[in-house]
Amino acid sequence: MIEAYFSHLILLLLIFIIPLIVFMKLLNKTGTKSNLPPSPPSFPIIGHLLMLKQPLHENLQKLSQKFGPVMLLHFGVRKFVVVTSLSVVEECFNQTNDVVFSNRPRVSAAKNMTYNFSSITVAPYGDLWRALRRVAASEFFSTTHLAATTHSREHEVKLMCRQIYNESQKSQQVVELESKFRGLMNNIITMGFIGKRYFGGDLMIEKGDVEVAHRFQEIMEESFTQINAPKIEEFLPFLKWVGIGRTREMESYELMEKTNELLDEFIRERRRKGCSGSGLMVDSLLALQDAEPELYTHDIIRSHILAIILTGTEAPNFALEWTMSLLLNNRKVMQKLKNEIDTKVDSNRLLQEGDLDRLSYLQNVIDESLRLYPPVPMLLPREASKDIMIGGYSIPRGTTLMVNAWAIHRDPVLWDNPDEFIPERFGEKLEDKYKTIPFGVGRRGCPGMNLGYRVLGLALGTLIQAFEWETIGGGEIDMTASYGDLLMCKLKPLQALCKPRSNMIAHFL
């Protein structure tokens, strides 16, 4: 993927080698030069860009074993410090240093999609970000709001199970699960934001929304394609002089035109209905706009809706798919989980969110799956707002911090048999909260962590309660991963054989 750009780069280096070297030297004059972290040998101009090969988290883990748990890399004009040590992660995100690392690096390719960096995911640490975070935490992810919307999530899981049941009856028990999981996560988010669902076909989409649903699905697919695309021109800005990245930039403008049109339809409809007490996020944002129009502008509302939909769907979808795949490959674990659910949940009804606190082994299974297959194996990057000392090394202002969560999750110093799926290891509370960090950490950790755990527990528990599961042909599920710039998903979408348990059929008719 990265290698495809280097045929262009070689020609450019021959033409521009002398001025580029001068340019790089000037750029590198900023920041602290003494006591920098160790760094592997690099090439002129491109630095360590040839090391940007997937799986990135595994390649960086191998490098850290040679150069240390705090390592400095140069990707073109940008400096990165890569951390793979639990103790250094704790240092990075203690109360003092977390503030220094509370900015996101600006990536020009994200400018359009984040409305000039005003999205909660990338907004600079400051008043705007705090306001957006506060709205998300109080209006959508608070314990009170989650308790009030339990029935909605239970209903969405039941609809997904009905889909699975119907498909299993038509296809000799073979069911494709990846699209069902994606639809579930999308519908839970959009039902909470605008009171509508856009995945699941005629069974789940209102007749008047079919055309809108197709547009929404298309926009979501294009958005994730753009988010996960390689962006080599961000590290070598001179590539833009010859047009590299221009096609993606045009595609981004076109995508945002379609996105804005759709989001504006949502906003206008909610304005017309005027349901300020509905509990939907859009209505809460519109009420805030009426009170503080200078802060909650139209673009801010757009950016907030889009950011929550994008961040709240794919990662939980991948997490559910990885977890179900692990259970299908570990029959004893699946049976133990099924026994727990059968023992602690009334057999005459479907599992409810209120049952989750009693299902400790279910929580252990989810924690262990997130340890082995964190959907975001390299945590979303941070940027140092000033010079700082980390792990005994000087980190210059403007350096991007990359935390290799995958490496920490599989560190043999921290975990016995780190590559094995052993949910029992979570039977006792972890001594250190940073040993598993699938939702990020610190001020810019995922605000939807509690919702994520609720949805994963409810969906996975209901699937195990309601159906008998087998792999197709009796073999093992292929656990090969596919990688984008941020996310780690399964290369082959999950398919399995399922048969409804006799006492559950009535719930799906």
Range scoring the smallest mean pLDDT among 14-23, 97-106, 211-220, 295-304: 14-23
Domain span at 160:
127-508
Strand runs labelled E in 128-170: none
Provide the percentage of residues in the chain whose pLDDT is more than 90: 74
pLDDT at residue 30, as a whole number:
44
Kindly state the tokens that stand for 364: 């252990």
Cα–Cα distance for residue pair 182/451, rounded to 1 Å:
16
In a domain, 69, yes or no: no
pLDDT above 90 (res 201): no
Q: Distance between CA 300 and CA 286 in Å, rounded?
A: 11
Q: Among 22-26, 37-41, 137-141, 323-327, where is mean pLDDT lowest?
A: 22-26
**Residue 22 pLDDT > 50:** no
User: Can you read off the two tokens belonging to residue 300?
Assistant: 């801010």
Please write the tens of the pLDDT for every residue from 408-448. 999 999 999 999 999 999 987 777 889 999 999 999 999 99
Binned at pLDDT 50, 70 and 90, residue 248 comes out as: confident
Does position 453 have pLDDT exceeding 80, yes or no?
A: yes
* Residue 221 vs residue 8, higher pLDDT: 221
Cα–Cα dist 280/275, whole Å: 9
pLDDT of residue 27 exceeding 50, the answer is no
Number of separate helices (H) and strands (E) present in the chain: 17, 11
pLDDT tens digits for range 66-82 = 999 999 999 999 999 99
DSSP 287-339: HHHHH-TTTS-HHHHHHHHHHHHHHTTHHHHHHHHHHHHHHHH-HHHHHHHHH
Q: What is the pLDDT of residue 110?
A: 86
Mean pLDDT computed over 14-36: 53
Inside any domain, residue 42? no
Q: Which residues of 179-194 are buried (b: 16+ CB within 10 A; e: fewer)?
A: ebbbbbbbbbbbbbbb
Band of residue 219 on the pLDDT scale cut at 50, 70, 90: very high
The verdict on residue 457 lying in a domain is yes
> Residue 20: pLDDT above 60?
no
Residue 25 confidence (pLDDT) above 60: no
Given a cut of 80, whether residue 172 has pLDDT beyond it is yes
- Is residue 255 domain-resident? yes
- Phi then psi for residue 428, to 5 deg, are -115, 155
Phi, psi (degrees; rounded to nearest 5) at 41: -55, 145
Whether residue 32 is predicted with pLDDT greater than 50 in this model: the reply is: no
- The pLDDT value given to residue 246: 76
Query: Which residue, among 74, 37, 121, has the nearest Cα to 382 in the 3D structure?
Result: 121
Whether 323 is covered by a domain: the verdict is yes
Distance CA 2, CA 95 (A): 37
Is residue 279 within 8 Å of residue 145, measured between CB atoms?
Answer: yes
Q: Say if CB 53 and CB 2 are below 8 A apart.
A: yes
CB neighbour burial string for 60-86, b if at least 16 within 10 angstroms, e if fewer: bbebbeebbbbbbbbbbbbbbbbbbbb
122 closest CA partner among 136, 138, 135, 133: 133
Round the average pLDDT of the chain to a whole number and report it: 90
What mean pLDDT is predicted for residues 176-202?
92
470: enclosing H helix or E strand? strand 467-470
**Number of domains comprising the chain:** 1
pLDDT cut 70: percent of the chain above it: 93
Q: E strands within 338-442? A: 382-383, 388-390, 393-395, 400-403
Query: What is the per-residue pLDDT for 495?
Result: 97
**Dist CA 307 CA 100 (whole Å):** 23
Please tell me the least confidently modeled range out of 225-234, 307-316, 366-375, 423-432. Answer: 225-234
At residue 207, the pLDDT reads: 77
Question: How much is the pLDDT for 205?
Answer: 84
pLDDT for residue 448:
93
Q: Is residue 83 part of a domain?
A: no
- Give domain status of residue 166, yes or no: yes
Higher-pLDDT residue of 14 and 106 is 106
At a CB cut-off of 8 Å and minimum separation 6, what does 171 contact?
A: none
CA–CA distance, 83 with 64 (Å, rounded to integer): 8
| Poorest-pLDDT segment among 40-49, 92-101, 154-163, 271-280 | 271-280
Looking at residue 203, what is its pLDDT? 65
Per-residue pLDDT band for 160 (boundaries 50, 70, 90) equals very high
Contact in structure between 159 and 286 (CB atoms under 8 Å): no
- Cα separations in angstroms, 142 against 93, 355, 449: 23, 19, 11
How large is the C-alpha radius of gyration of the chain? 24
pLDDT of residue 330: 98
CATH number for 162: 1.10.630.10
Tell me the two tokens of residue 86.
């639990």
- Asked whether residue 486 is domain-assigned, the answer is yes
pLDDT at 23 over 60: no
pLDDT of residue 19: 52
Q: What is the mean pLDDT of residues 268-294?
A: 88
The pLDDT, as a whole number, for residue 15 is 47
For 463-498, the pLDDT digits (tens) are 999 999 999 999 999 999 998 778 999 999 999 999
Asked whether the predicted pLDDT for residue 11 surpasses 50, the reply is no
